[in-house]
C-alpha cells in the first residue's frame, strides 16, 4: 500500500506543480539604429505591438524562460566573435538577472534585476559597459495588462532592456 501511495504522489507532483501555472520571464534587448528614437518606459500591447513599437531599434536578444521560480538567476548571452584583420572582435550583451517572486495570494508581484555587460570590441571600438539594473517590478500579463516594462537603458550605447512575465495554465 505504501508503494502505491508513493507512486501516486510521484505522478501527481508534475500536475500539482502546474496547478498554479508556470511563470515565464520574457526578456528583450534592443539597440537604437535611429538616433532620434526614444525607448518608452512601458510598451502596451501583445508581443507584435511591442516589436512594432521598436521601429527605431534592432533586436539584440530575446529570451523566454520556462517556469521561473523565486530566487532563480537567469542568464542571457548573445554575442558575435569575429576576426577583424587578425584581431578578435566581440559584439553583444551578457546578463545575469535575479528573479524575485513577491506574490501574495491572488496578487502577483515580480521583480527582475542584475548586471548586464554591453560589449563592442573590434573594428576600432573598445566599448565594455557594465549596467547595474536595480530590481524592477515587471508586469504579469495574466493579470490583465499586456505589455513590457523598461528595466534600464544605457544611453551611451543606445541599448535598452525590457521584461515581463507570462503565465501558462
Binned at pLDDT 50, 70 and 90, residue 79 comes out as confident
Q: What are the residues facing 153 on neighbouring strands?
A: 160
Strands (E), the chain: 22-32, 42-44, 57-64, 73-84, 87-101, 110-122, 125-138, 147-154, 159-168
135 vs 90 pLDDT, higher one: 135
Q: Is residue 156 part of a domain?
A: yes
Q: Is residue 120 part of a domain?
A: yes
Q: Is residue 47 part of a domain?
A: yes
Q: Is residue 44 part of a domain?
A: yes
Binned at pLDDT 50, 70 and 90, residue 118 comes out as very high
Residue 102 clears pLDDT 70, i.e. is over it: yes
CA dist., res. 143 & res. 92, Å (int): 33
pTM value? 0.82
Using CB atoms within 10 A of its CB, is residue 139 exposed (0-12), middle (13-18) or buried (19+)?
buried
CA dist., res. 41 & res. 27, Å (int): 14
Q: What average pLDDT is seen over the chain? A: 85
Binned at pLDDT 50, 70 and 90, residue 123 comes out as confident
Residue 93 clears pLDDT 90, i.e. is over it: yes
Q: What is the pLDDT of residue 125?
A: 79
Looking at the structure of the chain, the number of domains it has is 1
Q: What is the pLDDT of residue 142?
A: 86
10 vs 46 pLDDT, higher one: 46
Q: Is residue 84 part of a domain?
A: yes
Dig out the grid coordinates for 3 from the structure.
508503494
Binned at pLDDT 50, 70 and 90, residue 121 comes out as confident
Q: Which domain holds residue 29?
A: 22-168
Binned at pLDDT 50, 70 and 90, residue 169 comes out as low
Q: Is residue 163 part of a domain?
A: yes
Q: What is the pLDDT of residue 12?
A: 35
Report the pLDDT averaged over residues 42-56.
95
Q: Is residue 16 part of a domain?
A: no
Using CB atoms within 10 A of its CB, is residue 25 exposed (0-12), middle (13-18) or buried (19+)?
buried
Q: What is the pLDDT of residue 88?
A: 77
CA dist., res. 43 & res. 51, Å (int): 9
CA dist., res. 138 & res. 108, Å (int): 10
Amino acid at each position: 500500500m505504501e508503494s502505491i501511495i508513493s507512486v501516486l504522489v510521484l505522478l501527481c507532483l508534475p500536475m500539482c506543480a502546474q496547478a498554479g501555472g508556470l511563470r515565464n520571464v520574457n526578456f528583450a534587448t534592443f539597440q537604437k539604429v535611429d538616433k532620434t528614437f526614444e525607448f518608452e518606459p512601458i510598451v502596451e500591447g501583445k508581443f507584435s505591438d511591442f516589436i512594432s513599437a521598436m521601429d527605431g531599434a534592432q533586436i539584440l536578444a530575446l529570451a523566454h524562460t520556462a517556469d521561473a521560480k523565486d530566487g532563480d538567476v537567469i542568464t542571457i548571452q548573445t554575442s558575435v566573435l569575429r576576426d577583424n584583420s587578425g584581431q578578435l572582435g566581440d559584439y553583444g550583451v551578457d546578463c545575469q538577472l535575479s528573479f524575485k517572486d513577491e506574490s501574495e495570494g491572488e496578487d502577483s508581484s515580480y521583480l527582475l534585476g542584475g548586471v548586464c555587460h554591453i560589449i563592442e570590441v573590434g573594428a576600432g571600438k573598445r566599448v565594455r559597459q557594465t549596467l547595474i539594473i536595480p530590481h524592477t517590478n515587471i508586469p504579469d500579463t495574466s493579470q490583465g495588462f499586456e505589455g513590457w516594462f523598461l528595466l534600464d537603458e544605457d544611453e551611451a550605447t543606445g541599448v535598452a532592456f525590457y521584461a515581463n512575465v507570462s503565465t501558462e495554465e
